[in-house]
Structure formats: C-alpha cells, structure tokens
C-alpha cells in the first residue's frame, strides 16, 4: 500500500487515515502536528530559556538564519530551494527561530518574506 501524500510504500497495518487520505506514519504526524509560529507560550518559554542557557541552533536552523541574514528578506519557497529543503521543512525551522525572536515574517504584496527580528 502507498501513502496518498508522499507515495512511500507502507505496510497496510501502518497506514493511518486523516482527512480522507491514507497516510504513512511520517505524513500522518506532519498532518496532525501543524507548526504554529504565533504561539505566545512558545515565545515565552523560548525567551526564558534563551536568557537562562543561551541559544543553540540546529545546523538547519543556523543555515536558515544565515540565509535570511545574508538576503535581509527572502520568501519561503526561495529559501527552501537554496537550502535544498521542502517549504514545509523551512516553515518548521522558521517556527523555532520565530519563537526565539530571531526571525519574523512580513508581507510585501502577495509574498510572505522571512526577515530578521
């Protein structure tokens, strides 16, 4: 059996149904755990932890932060292309950087751009 989202071959007993689609475990987890960038509690926790222990970014977060720093403003699809990530992966890493108040998003016309906080 194949996942309706990514097409990966999956054992029938490992398939999960969500939104009328049959999903592998990874796609199911992505579907049910949507990333929230505007989460005041996450910002509070990240800020208090940043003060207490400093900031340690993953290599992907650091790559994204440095890319935004270099370009000043960059759309999510362009960042995904330059970092060889999916747009969903970029949005996931962005959420953490937003909670740490390192990056934010702004809108220019129809484009949503990442920029420094």
Instruction: Indicate the fold that domain 1-33 takes in CATH.
Output: Wheat Germ Agglutinin (Isolectin 2); domain 1 (3.30.60)
Per-residue pLDDT of 39-89, as tens digits, reads 665 555 556 655 555 667 899 999 999 999 999 999 999 999 999 999 989
Mean pLDDT rounded to a whole number for the chain:
85
Alpha-carbon gap, residue 48 to 28, rounded angstroms:
32
Sketch the domain layout of the chain as residue ranges.
1-33, 34-116
Packing angle of the helix pair 59-71, 87-99 (nearest 10 deg):
90
3-state secondary structure of 109: coil
Choose the CATH number for 34-116 among 3.40.50.300, 3.30.420.10, 1.10.10.10, 2.30.30.60: 1.10.10.10
CB 21 within 8 A of CB 15: no
Flag whether the pTM goes above 0.95.
no
The better pLDDT of the pair 57, 38 is held by 57
């Amino acid at each position: 059996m194949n996942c309706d989202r990514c097409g990966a071959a999956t054992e029938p007993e490992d398939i999960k149904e969500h939104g009328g689609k049959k999903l592998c475990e990874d796609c199911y987890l992505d579907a049910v755990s949507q990333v929230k960038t505007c989460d005041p509690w996450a910002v509070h926790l990240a800020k208090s932890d940043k003060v207490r222990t400093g900031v340690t970014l993953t290599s992907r977060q650091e790559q994204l932060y440095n890319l935004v720093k270099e370009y000043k403003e960059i759309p999510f699809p362009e960042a995904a292309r330059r970092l060889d990530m999916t747009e969903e992966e970029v949005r996931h890493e962005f959420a953490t950087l937003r909670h740490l108040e390192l990056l934010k998003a702004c809108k220019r016309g129809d484009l949503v751009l990442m920029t420094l906080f």
